[in-house]
Amino acid sequence: MKKILLLGMLVVLLGAFFGCSEETTEVPKEAKLEFVSASVEITNWDTDEYTVSFTLQNTGNATATNIQGRIGFTFEGETEATWSPYVPLGVDITAGSTYSETMVDYAEDEAEALIILAAEITMEFTWETE
């Protein structure tokens, strides 16, 4: 009888030990950049200078590195964006961080500045996960 009782207690203890052990699954590291906003503003009408400001947020759990971005303008009456080449940002964005930048450029003339101001802005980014 003692052997059966002892064996039963051993089974209960082993079941409790193995049943309560946590199995951990490693979450893969991933940087995930989300485009938050962009705006265009004419900053100097005499020189046709304009700025493009944008904000990105890394909602992933790893740092985004080697980030490159390009801007697309969809002009009035067009359905496809006209894209600039990809440009390296030269920064890393850590997990949970927000990054903003303002770039300065010049239109050829006031007419082009007005066209840019009226365009819809789109941006695309590529990155690697550190």
Contact (Cβ atoms closer than 8 angstroms) between residue 97 and residue 35: no
- For 74-94, what is the mean pLDDT? 93
Could you identify the residue written with the tokens 């989300």?
A: 34
Closest C-alpha among 19, 49, 21 to residue 112 = 49
φ/ψ (deg, to 5) at 2: -65, -35
pTM here? 0.72
Residue spans of beta strands (DSSP E) within the chain: 33-44, 49-58, 64-74, 82-83, 87-88, 98-106, 120-129
What per-residue confidence (pLDDT) applies to 27?
Answer: 86
Give all domains of the chain, ordered by start, each with its CATH number: 33-129 (2.60.40.10)
Give the mean pLDDT of the chain.
87
Which residues share a beta bridge with 129?
64
Please write the tens of the pLDDT for every residue from 39-79: 999 999 999 999 999 999 999 999 999 999 999 999 888 99
